[in-house]
């Protein structure tokens, strides 16, 4: 019986609140603007945060965990200002053999914290299919490349030891290459001609989505469009920069080294490094910085004290990027919080004004038997309904803004049910919290004085 009476009171309060709100549509809309924009900001912020988190995790998967990346510095970049006139002479330039396979073997042998070493050589070339040439990147790699880079071979198998040692013409291709060259059929076991060499396809990697942002910031290629061959096959059948060419040097494409008193010797400038990238995976993430320091000192010593390479730790770069995005999200949260606070204050002010306007009405309902709790519940219901209405409009606006933001800026946004529920709950709480003071003010009025109020 008590529950039935309570339900009837709630229904009565709800219908009365709806009547009051509809009677003051413009005022209610203006009151809820702060809630609308605050909730929309919360929805958009959480969507941007979820998208950023997904992108960071995807990039972490691409660069691999516990990896150190070593990249060579081409001679043009390293020695732009090396030659300098000093007392009529030329500043001496040390000779470096460049980053090569001997460095790979030395790292594997001498640094105990290293788990795997994965060298890469890149050649921009073409693949021929039915008499037509298509551009492609040919990548010479070791068998550890796929595990180090978190790449899954979807069909087929990895390079075997015999294929690597005998420099056999085999390859593993990206998913887009398979779709392009072998539409509607499997590429396994078939032959493709890359430049002048026929290669047998022994595997196809799983397709991975790589954003343009990841490609630009982390130097990651679109792995789906690459052709991978054993690194020895690359050096034997395609190109090895360690082998001196007998072709004449272009004019000006030389470098002078030696001391100022001794004879000057000319050597070719350009990319003299045998490999284009070296990924070193350590056993434990706590050993990243120490291993990077050891690698730097070892390679500098092996390269005749020439710093012709760069060492980076991708996971640290990503963590720094993640921290920046978290700061951005905090700023958005503060803005959303301020909007919600202003919205709550607006609700409280309007409800207090409503109490003053309806003082006589409050006195009449108190005189016919309404308790203080009934009056409090009535005004709380009105403030909560205003807040919930603003919250619903804010949710719609936030969802719309998230989609528009993704379309116009390319920033990935991910909406979730949890974020929508959170925004709805926050809107409800704002109405409840900021409606308490006006409700208590209305309930505290004396019925006789309220009826006399003009």
Average pLDDT over residues 33-39: 83
| Spatial distance between the Cα atoms of 157 and 172, rounded to a whole number of angstroms | 8
3-state secondary structure 273-314: CCCCEEEEEECCHHHHHHHHHHHHHHHHHHCCCCCCEEEECH
**Which are the contacts of 185, defined by CB distance < 8 A and separation ≥ 6?**
none
Minimum mean pLDDT among 84-93, 363-372, 398-407: which range?
84-93
Q: Look at residue 454 in the predicted model and tell me its pLDDT.
A: 54
pLDDT in tens, 297-327: 999 999 888 888 888 887 766 677 667 777 7
Cβ contact 215:209 at 8 Å: no
Average pLDDT over residues 177-189: 87
Is pLDDT of 358 > 80? Answer: no
Q: Look at residue 73 in the predicted model and tell me its pLDDT.
A: 84
| Spatial distance between the Cα atoms of 320 and 328, rounded to a whole number of angstroms | 13
Pair type for strands 170-173 and 89-90: unpaired
pLDDT in tens, 75-120: 655 444 444 444 444 444 567 788 889 999 999 889 998 888 999 9
Identify which has the larger pLDDT, 55 or 449. Answer: 55
Average pLDDT over residues 427-451: 73
The DSSP line for 28-65 is: HHHHTHHHHHHHHHHHHHHHHHHHHHHHHHHHHHHH-T
- Burial class of 325 by CB neighbour count within 10 A (0 to 12, 13 to 18, 19+): middle
First CA to last CA across the chain, in angstroms? 39
- What confidence category does residue 45 fall into, taking pLDDT thresholds of 50, 70 and 90? confident
Is pLDDT of 39 > 90? Answer: no
| Spatial distance between the Cα atoms of 248 and 299, rounded to a whole number of angstroms | 31
Average pLDDT over residues 138-161: 88
Q: Tell me the two tokens of residue 55.
A: 């992108």
**Which are the contacts of 399, defined by CB distance < 8 A and separation ≥ 6?**
43, 415, 420
Q: Look at residue 141 in the predicted model and tell me its pLDDT.
A: 92
Give the chain's radius of gyration (CA, Å): 35
- What confidence category does residue 6 fall into, taking pLDDT thresholds of 50, 70 and 90? low
- Ramachandran angles phi, psi of 243, nearest 5°: -80, 125
User: How big is the CA angle at 107 (ends 106 and 112), to the nearest 5 degrees?
Assistant: 120
**Which are the contacts of 159, defined by CB distance < 8 A and separation ≥ 6?**
142, 143, 170, 172, 202, 230
Q: Look at residue 83 in the predicted model and tell me its pLDDT.
A: 44
Q: Is 422 helix (H, G, I), strand (E, B) or coil?
A: helix
Q: Quick one: which of 321, 283, 333 has its CA closest to 58?
A: 321
Q: Tell me the two tokens of residue 256.
A: 């002078």
Distance of CA 428 to the CA centre of its chain: 33
Identify which has the larger pLDDT, 41 or 170. Answer: 170
| Spatial distance between the Cα atoms of 306 and 263, rounded to a whole number of angstroms | 21
Average pLDDT over residues 59-65: 65
| Spatial distance between the Cα atoms of 429 and 423, rounded to a whole number of angstroms | 10
| Spatial distance between the Cα atoms of 387 and 408, rounded to a whole number of angstroms | 30
* pLDDT, averaged across the chain: 77
Query: Dihedral of CA 82/83/84/87: which sign?
Result: positive
| Spatial distance between the Cα atoms of 431 and 171, rounded to a whole number of angstroms | 64
| Spatial distance between the Cα atoms of 328 and 51, rounded to a whole number of angstroms | 13
**Which are the contacts of 174, defined by CB distance < 8 A and separation ≥ 6?**
204, 205, 207, 222, 223, 224, 225, 226, 227
Identify which has the larger pLDDT, 57 or 408. Answer: 408
pLDDT in tens, 96-106: 788 889 999 99
Q: Tell me the two tokens of residue 400.
A: 């719309």
Is pLDDT of 10 > 70? Answer: no
Q: Which residues pair with 85 in a beta bridge?
A: 90
């Amino acid at each position: 019986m008590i529950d039935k009476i309570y339900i009837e009171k709630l229904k009565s309060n709800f219908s009365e609140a709806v009547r009051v709100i509809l009677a003051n549509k413009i005022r209610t809309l203006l009151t809820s603007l702060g809630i609308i924009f605050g909730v929309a900001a919360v929805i958009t912020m959480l969507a941007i945060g979820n998208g950023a988190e997904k992108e960071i995790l995807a990039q972490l998967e691409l660069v691999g965990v516990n990896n150190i990346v070593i990249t060579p510095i081409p001679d043009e970049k390293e020695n732009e200002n090396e030659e300098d006139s000093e007392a009529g002479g030329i500043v001496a330039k040390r000779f470096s053999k460049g980053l090569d396979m001997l460095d790979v073997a030395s790292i594997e042998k001498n640094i105990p914290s290293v788990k795997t070493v994965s060298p890469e050589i890149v050649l921009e070339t073409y693949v021929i299919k039915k008499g037509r040439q298509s551009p492609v990147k040919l990548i010479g790699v070791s068998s550890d490349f796929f595990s180090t880079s978190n790449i899954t071979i979807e069909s087929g198998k990895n390079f075997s030891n015999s294929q690597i040692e005998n420099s056999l013409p085999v390859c593993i291709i990206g998913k887009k290459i398979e779709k392009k060259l072998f539409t509607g059929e499997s590429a396994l076991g078939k032959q493709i001609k890359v430049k002048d060499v026929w290669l047998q396809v022994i595997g196809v990697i799983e397709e991975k989505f790589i954003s343009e942002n990841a490609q630009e910031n982390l130097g990651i290629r679109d792995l789906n469009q690459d052709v991978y061959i054993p690194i020895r096959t690359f050096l034997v059948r395609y190109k090895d920069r360690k082998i001196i060419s007998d072709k004449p040097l272009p004019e000006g494409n030389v470098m002078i080294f030696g001391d100022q008193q001794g004879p000057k010797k000319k050597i070719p400038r350009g990319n003299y490094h045998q490999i284009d990238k070296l990924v070193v995976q350590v056993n434990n993430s706590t050993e990243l910085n120490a291993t990077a320091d050891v690698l730097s000192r070892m390679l500098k010593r092996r390269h005749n004290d020439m710093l012709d390479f760069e060492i980076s730790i991708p996971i640290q770069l990503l963590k720094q990027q993640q921290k920046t995005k978290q700061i951005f999200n905090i700023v958005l949260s503060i803005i959303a919080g301020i909007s919600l606070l202003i919205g709550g204050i607006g609700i409280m002010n309007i409800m207090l004004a409503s109490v003053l306007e309806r003082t006589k009405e409050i006195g009449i309902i108190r005189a016919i038997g309404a308790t203080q709790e009934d009056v409090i519940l009535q005004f709380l219901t009105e403030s909560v309904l205003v807040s919930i209405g603003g919250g619903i409009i804010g949710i719609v606006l936030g969802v719309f803004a998230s989609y528009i933001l993704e379309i116009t800026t390319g920033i990935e946004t991910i909406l979730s049910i949890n974020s929508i529920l959170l925004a709805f709950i926050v809107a409800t709480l704002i109405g409840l919290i900021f409606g308490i003071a006006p409700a208590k003010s209305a309930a505290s009025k004396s019925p006789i004085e309220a009826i006399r109020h003009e």
